[in-house]
Amino acid sequence: MNAQANLVALGTITRREVTRILRIWSQTLLPPAITMTLYFVIFGSLIGSRIGTMAQGVGGAPISYIEYIAPGLIMMAVIQNAYGNITSSFFGAKFQRFVEEMLVSPMPSWAILAGYVSGAVLRGFMVGVIVLLISLFFTKIHLYHPFVTLSTFLLAAVIFALLGFVNAIYARKFDDIAIIPTFVLTPLTYLGGVFYNVAQLPSPWKEISHLNPILYMVNAFRYGLLGVSDIDLTWAYLIMFAFVGALTAYCLSLLRRGVGLRS
Amino acid sequence: MSSSQQSVPALDVVDLRKTYATGVEALKGISLTVQAGDFYALLGPNGAGKSTLIGIISSLVNPSAGDVRVFGHSVRSERSQAMRMIGLVPQEINFNLFETPLDICVNQGGFYGIERKTALVRAEKYLKELALWDKAHAVTRTLSGGMKRRLMIARAMMNEPRLLILDEPTAGVDIEIRRSMWKFIEGINAAGTTVILTTHYLEEAEQLCRNITIIDHGRVIENTSMKKLLSKLDVETFVFDVTDANGELPQLADVRLARLDDHTLEAEMSRAHDLNSLFAALSARGITVTSMRNKANRLEELFVRLVDGSMANSGGAVSKEAA
């Protein structure tokens, strides 16, 4: 197909994904809103008010606990929803076999991947905006570095969409798409500096925490919103770009070989 | 369409082999050619390899060896060009049960790079032609079995394929809907689309298809025109409903007459033998024939014989290996 036709195909998948997200909004958009509201109430207002200042912000202004965790909570919602969207949607297409609609069409593998990743990123964006709006009821958010905020959101959402795609490709039953979020994604997110500053951890936990890629995403996003970060931003971008490159190549290779899709 | 394009076969399958990871050898060197514009039957018993063959043609199954060319484009090396030519109606329902027929058709157009505006027009056209337009906005899981089958045909038509593959499209569909589906597909074929049909309703294949391939155990066991194949049928079996068949039955050369019950007779006879002499002999015994029919469809009889022969051959092979 020519470039124009490929774009139409990509747009069709994206549109179908967005339609699905909005059609089942009570499963896609409402749960993160409720969960994150509870986080803000319990960890932010009730417990956070007793913790005091977490860091010095731009111009030496103190950053309260609720301000400190807000970017992490937004990023957590983005990561979980980007991952969850692509696993449930692509595995659902495999399970009901309508993935064959795309496999028998002339559209290239990259268009299939890009369409599903776009859908996942858009759900991450919708959920991120919802959580951001909820956070404004509890604290003030300043957008210190808009480019860093947006680029970190985009890279993190793409990374977890690609990881979700790999999960969906290999999954054979619904249990297979629940295991990774429960036993890998959630622990890594909680240990990724959402609720605490890793610099406060004792050795070797501080060093071990630096092996967690989510730490870099949370801190880069925090830098964008609050102007402070526990890690070097250059490392954060290097790691995120490396993940995007490696995972994209891997996903395309899986699609080209038809792993889990063509017998 | 230029004459050179017309002379290129719609489908050219060359020594196609498929061995699954489980070790099952589904195709053992299939070769066949379907000319452009043909209405072609691909028949075989369950497990013969038909679905694997269709899977490879539509790129859902990777071949182990050999190649498939669709209007000259290799499925292996020119997948995109080959797939643009094909419309597939699979055996199993494979659309999103939470979407509407209109969305399913328009999205299918989108996967082929067809702009939404054009896709909407085409979707309306085919949904109307297949009597589904009043259900265009219904959730597909609420559709009846026949409607779901027709929706899969409408979806396959969205890219206006030059080769339409129908894998048991009328399974479980009542006779009225089946007839309307065939009328639609005959119209598509008459307009120039090549049609390949697999079905277990052999009277459909006999009535609709001009050429035929029968495969069994992953091999082609017959590949000819429908006319030539049917001419091979040298014996036919008729069932007669009669007034009273209690008495002695007449004896005729080349006719094996059997009493099924007091009012039903079965006659297996050579096609060369005329029916008049049989009727005369029955009348002479005071037996009046009230109605008659073929015991089985002609193609069905041939099919059973060919497949039985193939099974006997492969059975021999299996027992030799086991020994």
Residue B290 has pLDDT above 80, yes or no: yes
CB B34 within 8 A of CB B44: no
Q: Is A246 on the interface with B (CB under 8 A)?
A: no
Q: Rounded distance, CA A220 to CA B61, Å?
A: 44
Q: What's the rounded Cα separation, in Å, for the pair B286 and B280? A: 10
Domain residue ranges in chain B: 3-230, 233-298
Task: Locate all alpha helices (DSSP H) within A96-145, ordered by sequence.
Answer: 99-103, 109-135
CA distance A118 to B291: 67
B5, pLDDT greater than 60: no
Choose among B79, B92, B113: nearest Cβ to A8.
B113
Phi, psi of A137 (to 5 degrees): -75, -20
Name the average pLDDT for chain A. Answer: 92
CATH code of the domain made up of B3-230: 3.40.50.300
pLDDT averaged over every residue in chain B? 86
Q: What are phi and psi of A191, to 5 degrees?
A: -90, 10
Q: Using one digit for the tens of pLDDT, what is the confidence trace for A91-105?
A: 999 999 999 999 999
Which run of H or E residues covers position B25?
strand B25-34
The tokens for B122 are 């085409």
Spatial strand order of the sheet with B73-74 comes to: B25-34, B11-19, B65-70, B73-74
Residues of chain B positioned with their CB less than 8 A from the CB of A28: none
The helix-helix angle for A3-23 and A109-135 (nearest 10°) equals 40
pLDDT of residue B170: 82
Percentage of chain B lying above the pLDDT 70 cut: 89
pLDDT in tens, B147-171: 999 999 999 999 999 999 999 888 7
Query: Sorting pLDDT into bands at 50, 70 and 90, what band is B258?
Result: confident
Supply the pLDDT for residue A103: 95
Reduce the DSSP state of residue A201 to 3 states and report it: coil
pLDDT at B318: 33
Is pTM, for the whole model, over 0.90? no
Provide the pLDDT confidence category of residue B298 given band limits of 50, 70 and 90.
Answer: low
Taking the CA of residue B21 and the nearest CA in chain A, the distance in Å comes to 8
**Average confidence (pLDDT) over A14-34:** 95
Fold of the domain built from segment(s) B233-298: Alpha-Beta Plaits (3.30.70)
Q: What residues contact B272, with CB distance under 8 A and at least 6 apart?
A: B234, B254
Q: How far, CA to CA in Å, does A5 sit from each of A105, A107, B113, B161, B244?
A: 12, 8, 4, 16, 71
B interface with A, Cβ–Cβ below 8 Å = 20-21, 55, 58-62, 79-81, 83-84, 86, 88, 90, 92, 94-98, 103, 107-108, 110-116, 155, 159
**Confidence (pLDDT) at B315:** 45
- Predicted ipTM of the assembly: 0.88
More confident residue, A186 or A155: A155
Q: Is the pLDDT of residue B197 over 50?
A: yes
- pLDDT exceeds cutoff 50 at B322: no
> Residue A67 above 60 pLDDT?
yes
